[in-house]
Amino acid sequence: MTVFAKRIAFLLRGFAASVATVSLVAFPLSQAAAAPAKKATTTASRTAHAKGKVKVTAHAKGAKAKSQTTAGAATKRRTAKTRQVAEKERVNTHHVARLRHRATVARTRHAVAAGPVLVSFGHQAGLERAMGPLDITSSAALVIDQDTHEVLVSKNDQAVLPIASLTKLMTGLILSSAHLPMNTPITITEADVDTLKNSSSRLAVGTTLTRGELMHLALMSSENRAAHALARTFPGGLEHFVDLMNARARSIGMTETHYVEPTGLSNDNRSSARDLAMLVQVAYNDPTLRQLTTSNGFDVATRRGRMLEYHNTNPLIRDSDWDIGLQKTGYIWESGRCMVLQTTISGRRLIMVFLDAGSTRERTVDAERVRRWVERQATVARGAAAHPLT
């Protein structure tokens, strides 16, 4: 090998070694350059994953917070509703307690005002327990045929008892018989206010009505101030009027009757069922008394322009089953519930008197018993007439 060839070989070996060295050096350098990139990628991935976790955690926390908020709102609503229900129950309980308290106070006041139980004179004497026809509960009763005077029903008919506002029938008879002008104005005064029973009246002191209007109210609605004012302003005064009442009673034959005033508020106004039947017989012949006592209602105007509506004190007037020609009711505790009436039943004209019934209903029931009994008797009589015995 020549020197030139050796040099060429030497150079080639040197070049090859250089290339190998460069390769060895270049690979670590490429790995070193790639490591930070990989690390950066890993770090970025971890960061992104962490951010994802954070995002998920934040979302979870948001959902949990929202759920907690919703649950809290629902709890608040339930709490508020519970409080409302509790408050409503409390208010209702308080309201009921107040109503019960008021009712108790009212009952107590009524009991105090009423005082002891008041028993009528007839019941004190035990008259209502007497055995009578048709199970009549009134202490005294009398039913007669107006035309033949036949007695159909009788129970303690001569017992003398307080007659309350049945008195006003005689008051009306005296006034009507006097033929005084009915358009004369009469003013209610303090003298007409009830001091015996302290009863109320819608006719205030100072009210001015005509004599005819006051007479209407006295006979239809049993207005006490009206009756007293009529007697007070009668020619000759109140005492003279009462004297005329007693004189008329004697002339009729009412020997067991006595009057001390014109309204019936005094329990000293007394009579018997038999005497009152006589009074009804006479009063029925007066057209004015028939009209006023059977009037269903009447309106009057006060001095202030206010209209007062009055109704008949007898519910039978409004009952279509009854044909009543004259009637009057009455009540004070001493007399019990009283009623007189003239009526036509099955073509028969009758006069009925009931004294000292225990209640308005009992008084009405007594009258209904008599009416149905008379109707049955009439039916039987018609049947017998249609099929006479041969």
Q: Is 55 a catalytic residue?
A: no
Across-strand partners of 167? none
Secondary structure (DSSP) of 51-111: HHHHHHHHHHHHHHHHHHHHHHHHHHHHHHHHHHHHHHHHHHHHHHHHHHHHHHHHHHHHH
Q: Is 53 a catalytic residue?
A: no
Query: Residues 143, 351: contact at Cβ < 8 Å?
Result: yes
- Backbone torsion region of residue 203, taken as left when φ is above 0, otherwise alpha when ψ lies between -120 and 50, otherwise beta: beta
- In angstroms, the CA 329 to CA 163 distance is 9
Query: Residues 164, 147: contact at Cβ < 8 Å?
Result: no
Q: How many residues does the chain have?
A: 390
Of the residues 120, 138, 139, 165, only one is catalytic, namely: 165
Phi and psi at residue 240, to the nearest 5°:
-65, -40
Distance, C-alpha 31 to centroid of its chain:
107
Of the residues 138, 139, 168, 335, only one is catalytic, namely: 168
Of the residues 176, 222, 266, 271, only one is catalytic, namely: 222
Secondary structure (DSSP) of 184-202: -EEE--GGGS--SS----S
Q: Is 155 a catalytic residue?
A: no
Catalytic residues: 165, 168, 222
